[in-house]
Amino acid sequence: MTTEKSIWQRLDYGLLFLIFILSLGSFIAIYSATNVSEEYGTYDYLIRQMIWYAAGFAVMFSILLIDYRQLKHLSIPIYIAGVLLLVLVMLFGEEHKGAQRWISILGFNFQPSEFMKIFLIIAIAHLLVREQSKLPKPTFKQDLWLTIKTGLVVIVPFFLILRQPDLGTSLVLLAIMGTMLLVAGISWRVILLMVAAFIALVTGLVFLYFVNFDLFSKIIATHQLNRIYGWLDPFSSPGEFGYQLIQSLLAIGSGQLMGTGFNQGVQSRGYIPEVHTDFIFAVIGEEFGFVGASILIAIYFVLIYRLVQIALTCNDMFGSYLVAGVIGMLVFQVFQNIGMTIGLMPITGLALPFISYGGSALLTNMIAMGIVLNVHMRTKTYMFD
């Protein structure tokens, strides 16, 4: 027996409210971060972010008009389209600050690697549903084979994005894969095997660093190694590799409990490069202090908790896997971005979801929320389950 409601009555207004609150936080932080000098223009970035949010909400509500289950039939075409876009970036992409990640169309620059996250979530969700429908009670070997198949889907965009170079986004793809496989219930022995392989990889790289640095430098780029130096010991190179992290720590530390006040930050608004994108959390930490930063983290926690609820209550495995992929994407990005601003993680250039300035990243997150809302709207509630 089902309790019938129209699709639009099942729209999750609580989730929409959380996104709205995050959008307000983004406007406040970006305005404060970019009205420092004539380099940015007082309102330029704020207005652009508002436009991107308007476009994001439009795309999100457009996605609600299509049944998410139709994405199964589009998973292969959009995955191939995403890979082709990454190849185009490699051949004709625009370079900015040493990274070739953007394509310009009709005067707009967009980052295909951001949208590849969504394409990959859809492709993996379809793969898991298709493979598991063949195996009602999978064995260790079958789980291992499923993991290998999933890895083959991920490895092509992973290396294309890594070549740009964009280590942060490449790691997001791995986080998506790991989360979705975990939710799929693969054998714990396969999980241990993956963890052992990761430990062996890190150990091998450390060994190469001390034994054969020439070979190590061919695997790990110089700028990536410098970021590791700046993370492990930022004060050994305060004017170079450790500069961003030191300034971020000073900004967040100076915020203390209540912060310096809106638009009153000094450290974050004058000394940190790319503060409106990668290091936007430093602005929040300085101007709104421990209290403001904690409120933001609490909002993220409530958002993720709601996504988990939607994934658990969905009565369609494809929908559950889609939401699980979104959860993996957002959790990793939030943890990595905040972690790198306080020295817990290396600096990778990942944006803080819904807060950092950036069109491609914001549109990707809004598309992800559209898919989640779509899944929730079309989940039927049974009185007797």
Write the DSSP assignment of 174-207 as a string of letters.
HHHHHHHHHHTT--HHHHHHHHHHHHHHHHHHHH
Distance between CA atoms of 52 and 45, rounded to whole angstroms? 10
Which spans in 233-316 are helix H? 243-255, 267-270, 280-313
Q: Is residue 174 part of a domain?
A: yes
Residue 212 is classified by DSSP as -
Q: Is residue 360 part of a domain?
A: yes
Evaluate if residue 223 carries a pLDDT over 80: no
Predicted confidence band of residue 196 (pLDDT cuts 50, 70, 90):
very high
Strand order in the sheet with 108-110: 94-96, 99-105, 108-110
Q: Is residue 175 part of a domain?
A: yes
The pTM score is: 0.91
For the chain, what is the domain count? 1
The neighbouring-strand residues paired with 296 are none
The helix (H) or strand (E) run that includes residue 87 is helix 71-92
Mean pLDDT of 125-144: 83
pLDDT digits (tens, 9 = 90+) for 41-73: 567 889 999 999 999 999 999 999 999 999 999
Q: What 3-state class would DSSP assign to 105?
A: strand
Query: Bigger pLDDT: 228 or 105?
Result: 228
Distance between CA atoms of 202 and 326, rounded to whole angstroms? 27
Q: Is the distance from CB of 227 to CB of 347 less than 8 angstroms?
A: yes
**In the chain, % of residues over pLDDT 70:** 93
Lowest mean pLDDT among 24-38, 153-167, 348-362: 24-38
Evaluate if residue 1 carries a pLDDT over 50: no
Residue 347 is classified by DSSP as -
Q: Which domain holds residue 169?
A: 7-193+238-377
Distance between CA atoms of 357 and 280, rounded to whole angstroms? 8
* Token pair of 77 as six digits: 């075409």
Q: Is residue 212 part of a domain?
A: no
Distance between CA atoms of 346 and 280, rounded to whole angstroms? 16
Q: Is residue 160 part of a domain?
A: yes
Which of 150-164, 238-252, 295-309 reaches the highest mean pLDDT? 295-309
Evaluate if residue 231 carries a pLDDT over 80: yes
Q: Is the distance from CB of 340 to CB of 326 less than 8 angstroms?
A: no
Q: Is 157 exposed, middle or buried (0-12, 13-18, 19+ CB in 10 A)?
A: buried
Q: Is residue 382 part of a domain?
A: no
Q: Is residue 335 part of a domain?
A: yes
Q: Is the distance from CB of 35 to CB of 43 less than 8 angstroms?
A: yes
Handedness of CA 75, 80, 82, 83 (dihedral sign): positive
pLDDT digits (tens, 9 = 90+) for 316-345: 899 999 999 999 999 999 999 999 999 898
Q: What is the DSSP code string of 263-278?
A: T--SHHHHS-TTTTTT
Q: Is residue 210 part of a domain?
A: no
